[in-house]
Every structure is written in structure tokens, then in C-alpha cells.
Amino acid sequence: MFLVMRSLFGGYLESLKKPNYHSTGTTSCHGRSISRFSTASVAEELITPPVQITYTQNLINGQFVDAASGKNFPTYDPRTGEVIAHVAEGDAEDINRAVAAARKAFDEGPWPKMTAYERSRILLRFADLVEKNTEELAALESWNNGKPYEQAAQAELPMLARLFRYYAGWADKIHGLTVPADGDYHVQTLHEPIGVAGQIIPWNFPLLMFAWKVGPALACGNTVVLKTAEQTPLTALYAAKLFHEAGLPPGVLNIVSGFGPTAGAALASHMDVDKLAFTGSTDTGKIVLELAARSNLKPVTLELGGKSPFIVCEDADIDRAVELAHFALFFNQGQCCCAGSRTYVHERIYDEFIEKSKARATRRVVGDPFKKGVEQGPQIDAEQFDKVLRYIRSGIQSNATLECGGDRLGSKGYFIQPTVFSNVQDDMLIAKDEIFGPVQSILKFKDIDDVIRRANTTRYGLAAGVFTRSLDTANTLTRALRAGTIWVNCFDVFDAAIPFGGYKMSGIGREKGIYSLHNYLQVKAVVTPLKKAAWL
């Protein structure tokens, strides 16, 4: 498994480094050439994705079925804005049917009664099937989402398999404690599955978020009703088919595709859902939390937005810092909740950093995500595309300096030029709001106290990056910054065992690692009297 970002995304990054990115001109890809940061890479004939779309219905009780209403909705290719498939549009009735199937599978079915070892074996078989079907899953992910195929195939699919193997390893290691108590009593705690878990995943990393949610829930013995993002429903349905090939009993994993106000709201407010997990925007997270509270007060975990500071100190290796700051922001088209979207650079190296960041962004390869060597594909849809362009206009209007980019790329699809702003001030919208696009905002700071205060002046607290050669500086910053993950001289380091989640309005709870299991377990204390105990 790719252990850290240079391991999770390391193979992918190394493949992108093979061309000389410090030259001008073109890179040969599949026998053709693509121009860096130009419309040529977008205007070329697009590659036909090497996969057939087979699964477009909802999955309920082990069967692919049409929506109760009979309705479908289109899902699009963000390279062109054209429809690639029509998917069953689930609503409240489909959620009711899915929850009923999950409830029966939990109360009467074999999953929670199955030995933990057997559950583990099914998760492991699923991971094996993911590896056998990597090309199909990666192609679907890229086609429906717009992310580079190489990123999906070389980084995200290996991590998907690794995550499920990690949770498979936990399945038979979940246990309680024997607790000493005053008096003649035997006290033990049981860690029991919580029941039916409702889960809502986003569109930026559909397969990885599927794993972050489904993996720990199933390892703990729960059943699941998962709502996909309406923009990217295809890969979860394909993965669910593989899960049933691996031996997952009917009703244990149910998937409904649909929209937030209908299917999502019905799941969040359902009285027979025992636990809810949501990843998405902070504003939607508030609605989800309210619906859960107003129904049956189900516990909720939220992984929400971010505006993560990336702090480049005076002693940093500037070339490395520029490359890492570039990756921290532009990775996945900038559509990453923990993106290093506030780049704070010490005033003594600020001008040099700006020039090199501008040059790196200008060299970024933008184009058809199915072409070898492409670093950046299109934004997810027209709504996100328009939102990013509005923020770029806001940056210009607020007198930030537009160093490069600032417009769409090409005339078809949702491609945006890699954009860099300098002279950004903390009160500008581009420095405060989560843009979720390829827009780098670079701010200047004077000293450590200055940057700590400014970095923490945000409603978010998901992640932060620190780039320095000083251990003392690193220690000071990692303890002072109010964020759930601090990356030192690295960024986007993800591992199955590393917890992920935010402070403040970036969420509630943690995902991945041992902490994710806590979200899907109830703790029960069992007390029995002891008579003539040999010892206490």
C-alpha cells in the first residue's frame, strides 16, 4: 500500500514527474502531444473511456431495482457537459425500502450474528475483487468525476483496497474490557454494533469516501444505507456489485442515488436509522445535524469544509515548498476539503516564492483526464465551475494580484486555468471562503506569532501544512494551529490508520484508524454480583 501521500499518491506523482516540467513546449501522451496550460489539450478529440456503464439502479436488499417513482436523472461527463447515463432517482420511498432492508438484515440476518472472522474474510475478498477490477473502477471514477485516470488507477484504487483490508483486520479485534469496581461485582463492557448506519458521501472522492464510511461500519457488524452524491453515483453501485460477489448477504449494504433535499433529507431524518455519517459542505452539514436531532436524536459524525493554511517559513527549501504548495492546492482540481488554500509565505522569501509558484502553475498540464501525463481535469459540473469563476472575479475586484490563469480553459466542458493570486489579504473572500477549485491564494507574514494568529482566524479547522527546517518552529506551529491534521514538510499524507477530521466548523468526530470504529459501536456495561469470590 502507498503509505503516505508520497506513497498513497507517490507512484502517481512520480509518473507525472517523468516529463520535464521545467521546460516549455509539449509532452508526448499516447503518441500525441498536449500543450501545457493551453486550450490545445482541451480541444483535442477526447478519449473514449474503456468501460461500460452497467449499474444505474438503486441497490436494495441485494437487488438492483428501479426507483419507486420510476424516475431517472442524468449523470454527466464533466469533460463535455454531456449526459453519459441515466440513474434511478431515489427519494423518500426508496430510502424507506432501503432502511427496512437494512433493519431486517441487522435484526434477523446473518451479518451481526456472523463470526467476526467471517465478516473479515468477506471484506478481504472484496478488496481482492477491487484489485481485479481496478481498470473499470478507475475509468468510471474518472469519467463521472473528471479526475485524472492515472490518479484514480495508481493512487486511489490501491488505497481503496488497502482501506478495506485495514478494516477487515479490525473486524475480529473489537472487544470490551473487564472493569474493576468497588464491591462484590463482576463488571464487563461490550462493544456492540450500533445498528442501521445512514451514510451520505460527496462527489470529490467517491470511492475513497465509500471506503471511509462503509469499511468501519461493516467491520463493526452494522448494516448500511448509503446515499451517493448525485453528481457521481456510478462507482459506488459498481463496488456494491463486487461486494455481493464477495459474499455480502442481502440487505447489509443498500445504495440509493438521489438528491439531498429528497433522498438525503429522508435518510437524515429517518426514525429507524441508528447512526448517521456525512461528508460535504459545512452548510449542508448543519442541515443534516438538525434533521438527525429533530428525528430520533441519532448520533452524527460530520467531515466538512476547510480553508487550510500552508505555512512556508523563512528557512524553507523554496523549490520544494513551491512544488508541495502547488500540489496541496491544485490536487484533484482543487476539489479537496483539506486543500492548502491559504498559502502563507514569510516576507523575506515572498517575492521569489510568487515567481516560482506562477511558473509552476503555468506549466501545469490541463486536459482530458484519460490522457497520460495530464495533471488536471475539469471541475465536477457547471455549478462548481461557475462558483470558482465567481471567486476568481472576486479576487480581481478586491485588488489581489492575478499572477496567472483567471479564466476557463477551452470552450467545452468545465476546465479552469490554474490560477495564482498574490498580495492576498485575510479579509478577502478568496482568503476566507472554501473555493474548492484550482485557485491559489498567497499571503505574506512577518513572524510566527503573526502567522499563528492569522491561520487560526477562520471558522474552519480541518488541516494545516508547515514547511520549515527547524524542529522548534515545527513543534511550536503544530501545537498552536487549531486543526485536526498538521502535515510537516509534507501534505495530503493519508493512510488507513491515520485519523482524519476537523476542529471548529470542519466537523464532528474522526474517520479512518481506530477512531472510526468508535462511530459505529455502542458501549454496554454488564454488572453481575459475585458470591464467595476468590479475589476482587
pLDDT at 436 over 90: yes
pLDDT at 32 over 80: no
Dihedral of the alpha carbons of 429, 435, 437, 442, in degrees to the nearest 10: 40
Transcribe 382-405 into DSSP letters. HHHHHHHHHHHHHHHHTT-EEEE-
* Structural domains in the chain plus CATH codes: 58-304+509-516 (3.40.605.10), 309-495 (3.40.309.10)
- Please classify residue 216 by burial: count the beta carbons closer than 10 Å to its beta carbon, then call 0-12 exposed, 13-18 middle and 19+ buried: buried
Task: Please give the mean pLDDT across all residues of the chain.
Answer: 93
Query: For residue 507, which phi and psi values (nearest 5 degrees)?
Result: 140, -175
pTM: 0.92
* Alpha-carbon gap, residue 289 to 419, rounded angstroms: 35
Shortest CA distance to 348 belongs to which of 318, 309, 320?
Answer: 318
User: 27 pLDDT band (50/70/90 cuts)?
Assistant: very low
Planar angle of CA 472, 473, 475, nearest 5 degrees: 65
**Across 5-19, 49-63, 360-374, 429-443, least confident range:** 5-19
Residue 228 one-letter amino acid: T
pLDDT at 5 over 80: no
DSSP 102: H
Work out whether strand 185-193 and strand 178-179 pair parallel, antiparallel, or are unpaired. Answer: antiparallel
Q: What is the largest CA-CA distance in the chain?
A: 86
Which ranges of 204-280 does DSSP label H, i.e. alpha helix? Answer: 206-219, 234-245, 265-268
pLDDT of residue 34: 35
pLDDT of residue 121: 98
- Please classify residue 385 by burial: count the beta carbons closer than 10 Å to its beta carbon, then call 0-12 exposed, 13-18 middle and 19+ buried: buried
Identify whether 303 is a catalytic site residue. yes
What is the average per-residue pLDDT within 373-381? Answer: 97
- What nine digits make up the cell of 222? 452494522
DSSP 45: P
pLDDT of residue 13: 52
Residues 89, 150, 303, 375: which is the catalytic one?
A: 303
* Alpha-carbon gap, residue 413 to 421, rounded angstroms: 24
pLDDT of residue 12: 52
Residue 120 one-letter amino acid: S
**Using one digit for the tens of pLDDT, what is the confidence trace for 273-323?**
999 999 999 999 999 999 999 999 999 999 999 999 999 999 999 999 999
* Alpha-carbon gap, residue 376 to 79, rounded angstroms: 11
What is the average per-residue pLDDT within 48-56? Answer: 96
* Alpha-carbon gap, residue 9 to 143, rounded angstroms: 20
Q: Could you tell me if 242 and 126 are in contact, meaning their C-beta atoms sit under 8 angstroms apart?
A: yes
Query: Residue 220, SS3?
Result: coil
pLDDT at 236 over 70: yes
Higher pLDDT, 177 or 27: 177
* Alpha-carbon gap, residue 467 to 490, rounded angstroms: 8
pLDDT of residue 533: 84
Residue 433 one-letter amino acid: D
Q: In the chain, pLDDT over 90 holds for what percent of residues?
A: 90
Shortest CA distance to 512 belongs to which of 250, 212, 269?
Answer: 212
Shortest CA distance to 506 belongs to which of 279, 346, 334, 331?
Answer: 279
* Alpha-carbon gap, residue 495 to 153, rounded angstroms: 17
Q: Could you tell me if 329 and 436 are in contact, meaning their C-beta atoms sit under 8 angstroms apart?
A: no
- Sign of the Cα torsion 427, 287, 508, 516 reads negative
* Alpha-carbon gap, residue 373 to 511, rounded angstroms: 32
User: 43 pLDDT band (50/70/90 cuts)?
Assistant: low
pLDDT of residue 536: 67
